[in-house]
Amino acid sequence: MLVPIGDGVGVTSVSLGMVRAMERNGVNVNFFKPIAQSNYYRRSGPERSTEIIRNATNITPPESFAADVAENMISANQVDDLLEMIVARYNDGTQNSEVVVIEGLVPNSSSSYASTVNYGVAKALDADIVFVTSPGNNSSQQLKERMDIAINSFGGISNKRIIGCIINKVGAPIDERHPSRPDLTEMFDKNAPSMSTNLEVLQMFSKSPMRILGCIPWNPVLIAPRAKDLADHLSATIINEGELNTRRLGRVTFCARSIPNMIEHFNPGSLLVTSGDRSDVIVSACLAAMNGVKIGALLLTGGYRPEKEVLALCEQALQTTGLPMMLINTNTWQTALVLQSFNMEIPVDDVDRIEQVQDYIAGHIDKHWIESLASESARPRRLSPPAFRYQLTEMARQAGKKVVLPEGDEPRTIKAAAIAASRGIARSVLLGNPEEIARIAAQEGVTLGDGVTILDPEVIREKYVGPMCELRKKKGLTEVVAREQLEDNVVLGTMMLAQGEVDGLVSGAVHTTANTIRPALQLIKTAPGANLVSSIFFMLMPDQVLIYGDCAINPDPTAEQLADIAIQSADSAIAFGIEPRVAMISYSTGNSGQGSDVDKVREATKLAQERRPDLSIDGPLQYDAAVMENVAKSKAPNSPVAGKATVFVFPDLNTGNTTYKAVQRSAELISIGPMLQGMAKPVNDLSRGALVEDIIYTIALTAIQAGQKN
């Protein structure tokens, strides 16, 4: 049970992180907020923490009791009855869970009974107690004293239920007027004053019997709202929607000065606030947007709608750059005051921000403690999507590889390279004009750190002409043709891989699959013992990760090739922590169907079983028989795979590609891939619609493959 000490400690964020940390370890986790809570910003509606968990995860938490129900029972001296109802709802709603994260009430002006009820709930549910606090404007010594007071109100340190504390928002900016919420214009300023650091807090608690289970540094990125959230708060009129729903606001700038004195504030993520009759600011902001600067939003005050001539001048910028523009009736001073009441809590529908918070908090919670909770259950583990993504990151870090990205001047690729380097996933090499890459990075607000190298193809291209001719001499490749082919950065990157200067290659954000794979087949070749190159997708289903192959490379494999694909896919599953139960998919199950297509699958199954008797491979199986236990019982009752398959091998490219896209789009799930199998060195393709996160995880896959080939 997470028990918050004080208001504004971020207990909801910590709850989200705890759930994610459990999921990463394959734990069947649930969440329960016994009593709903209102505050200054939220007086009604669904319980917020429960709603966020329900929207952002696959968990179905029990409903909370309404605050007025709890308050009426408490005032009527029916606390025991209330606790009995809470226990009943907990038991009904969390029966199959291994660990349940219970979020306690936040003590504030509207819930003076919070501490009493929290202690009662912890005892009633026999829950371990973890206090959640934040330094605020307290010194480390004051924080420790505040913690001691809280412990005493829960029976003292001798209470065996008290197992530790999580300290959130360490190093957050402070404000004397409202220490739990810094001024909006400064909250994203990394130079704003703060009270405590992680080291100071850890040193203060080092001699305390209270175990620190998490010390979470302040991260301003996690509170960056969407332009949409601010527009809703202000009830603004939208002049240009643009990327209103996705643009993040990094800081606020009031444009009261002349343009030359304002230009330095026209940065990615900035909310520019100006009077609606300041045409010079509007035009300048649009010009900056046309130059690639992703300004967060333009907020016009005073009710002055821009003149038609000004909007006509800015029309192309507004239509093509995604710059949101909104209008409110208050003047700039009044607007500044209204901004102070902006709710910085995570909106329940902001899935991207929730995901960031979950991953960040989970990464700062004691891993050994989480593993000890997970190890107490003997239930077999299913590799959930969060667990798989976390595992990818950890395995890539351990591999410590260098990956070349030929599409070095593509904005998504630049962002992914920077993030992958900052997380320690891989060192990235961007191919492209250094000045152009630096310009795009600046426009996107991306800092390229030490883990990112930029190489100019014009400078390095010539050194690969000779080696390329040597590799392709049997094909009669001449220097003239080699130079021409090396104009393609994918070919250049592939040569770098062939020469051992990098460990893997990722491309496809702007190139086709053929453009990415053809040079690799010509210059890298297949791995020793591999008869063909195939591909798999990792399908991140709601409760586990499945593997689909081959959905990208081989149009109509023979039975022998299909057997190879099955074995390659099973080995890939093992390499990434998925227990391989291979289903050879067809339109018929067992011996019920006839025809050349099903005969091919039947023969491929037999070949794969003979070559690798150590693997669980069965087929032909229809998809429903492979994935649904109740169907498997009637169609393939003796199959070791049916109903619980984790690897699906499709009979041809048409079936595989159609199925993967149908499942991906219909279920709105994430797929990672295609990952190529059978190459001597790892080369992986991206979808041209790939998101930044897709590229990051593909970089991680590539780094892991490179590590496994060593």
Please say if the pLDDT value at position 183 is more than 70: no
pLDDT in tens, 66-91: 888 888 998 888 888 888 888 888 88
Model pLDDT, residue 374: 63
Question: Are 213 and 239 part of one and the same domain?
Answer: no
Q: Which two tokens stand for residue 379?
A: 């239930």
Confidence of residue 223 (pLDDT cuts 50, 70, 90): confident
- Mean of all residue pLDDT scores within the chain: 86
Q: Which two tokens stand for residue 139?
A: 């010194």
146, 133 contact by CB (below 8 A)? yes
Distance CA 201, CA 368 (A): 20
Please say if the pLDDT value at position 469 is more than 70: yes
Amino acid letter for position 440: I
Confidence of residue 681 (pLDDT cuts 50, 70, 90): very high
Q: Is residue 528 domain-resident?
A: no
Please say if the pLDDT value at position 511 is more than 50: yes
Q: Is residue 697 domain-resident?
A: no
Average pLDDT over residues 338-353: 85
**CATH number of the domain to which 512 belongs:** 3.40.50.10950
pLDDT in tens, 401-428: 999 999 999 999 999 999 999 989 999 9
CA 354 to chain centre: 9
Distance CA 328, CA 299 (A): 8
**CATH number of the domain to which 645 belongs:** 3.40.50.10750
Please say if the pLDDT value at position 672 is more than 70: yes
- CA proximity to 416, closest of 16, 684, 188: 684
Question: Are 143 and 289 part of one and the same domain?
Answer: no
Domain edge (last residue) among 498, 523, 548 = 523
Question: Which is higher by pLDDT, 185 or 229?
Answer: 229
Helix, strand or coil for residue 570? helix
Model pLDDT, residue 610: 95
Question: Are 413 and 472 part of one and the same domain?
Answer: yes
Domain edge (last residue) among 458, 493, 523 = 523
Question: Which is higher by pLDDT, 544 or 313?
Answer: 313
The DSSP letter of residue 584 is: E
Question: Which is higher by pLDDT, 232 or 173?
Answer: 232
DSSP, residue by residue, 309-372: HHHHHTHHHHHHH---EEE-SS-HHHHHHHHTT---SPPTT-HHHHHHHHHHHHTTB-HHHHHH
Question: Are 30 and 55 part of one and the same domain?
Answer: yes
Model pLDDT, residue 187: 38
Question: Are 304 and 362 part of one and the same domain?
Answer: no
Model pLDDT, residue 25: 83
Question: Are 86 and 215 part of one and the same domain?
Answer: yes
**CATH number of the domain to which 89 belongs:** 3.40.50.300
Question: Are 434 and 503 part of one and the same domain?
Answer: yes
CA triple 366-372-377, angle to 5 deg: 140
Question: Are 668 and 555 part of one and the same domain?
Answer: yes
7, 38 contact by CB (below 8 A)? no
Question: Which is higher by pLDDT, 616 or 339?
Answer: 616
Confidence of residue 30 (pLDDT cuts 50, 70, 90): very high
Q: Is residue 172 domain-resident?
A: yes
The DSSP letter of residue 645 is: -
Q: Is residue 273 domain-resident?
A: yes
Q: Is residue 124 domain-resident?
A: yes
Give residue 540's domain range: 534-678
Please say if the pLDDT value at position 396 is more than 90: yes
Question: Are 322 and 456 part of one and the same domain?
Answer: no
Please say if the pLDDT value at position 201 is more than 80: no
Average pLDDT over residues 107-112: 75
Helix, strand or coil for residue 305? coil
Please say if the pLDDT value at position 560 is more than 90: yes
- What's the number of domains the chain is made of? 4
Question: Are 429 and 463 part of one and the same domain?
Answer: yes
**CATH number of the domain to which 309 belongs:** 3.40.1390.20
pTM summary value: 0.69
Q: Is residue 27 domain-resident?
A: yes
pLDDT in tens, 241-262: 999 999 999 889 899 888 998 8
Average pLDDT over residues 524-529: 86
Please say if the pLDDT value at position 180 is more than 80: no
Confidence of residue 135 (pLDDT cuts 50, 70, 90): confident
Question: Which of 76-85, 573-582, 618-627 bottoms out in mean pLDDT, i.e. has the lowest?
Answer: 76-85
Distance CA 408, CA 452 (A): 11
Q: Is residue 490 domain-resident?
A: yes
Q: Which two tokens stand for residue 415?
A: 């962002």
Question: Which of 498-512, 560-574, 670-684 bottoms out in mean pLDDT, i.e. has the lowest?
Answer: 670-684
Distance CA 601, CA 618 (A): 10
Q: Which residues of 278-304 are buried (b: 16+ CB within 10 A; e: fewer)?
A: bbebbbbbbebbeeebbbbbbbbbbeb
Question: Are 210 and 73 part of one and the same domain?
Answer: yes
Average pLDDT over residues 219-228: 90
Model pLDDT, residue 77: 86
406, 507 contact by CB (below 8 A)? yes
Confidence of residue 44 (pLDDT cuts 50, 70, 90): low
Q: Is residue 402 domain-resident?
A: yes
Question: Are 562 and 627 part of one and the same domain?
Answer: yes
Q: Which of the given ranges, 87-101, 210-224, 602-616, has the highest pLDDT on average?
A: 602-616
